[in-house]
Amino acid sequence: MSFGQIFYYFALALFAFMTFVIIRNYYRNKFNDKGQRMDMLDQYEENKK
């Protein structure tokens, strides 16, 4: 296995991992602890907590 092939597989794995982390953090910030979407809640429900 050449250095270029090892570097390619490393870059591919790093890209997949970074993409997974970015998508996971995006959805963690979009939903609250109850699983409700933050942008779909009424102002009354947010203040009720």
pLDDT one-digit tens code per residue, 9-34: 999 999 999 999 999 999 888 888 78
Asked if residue 27 lies in contact with residue 35, where contact means CB atoms within 8 angstroms, the answer is: no
For residue 9, what pLDDT is reported? 97
Residue 37 backbone zone (phi > 0: left; psi -120 to 50: alpha; other: beta):
beta
Give dist(CA 44, CA 49) in Å, integer: 9
Q: How far apart are the first and last CA of the chain?
A: 58
For the chain, give the mean pLDDT. 86
pTM for the model: 0.63
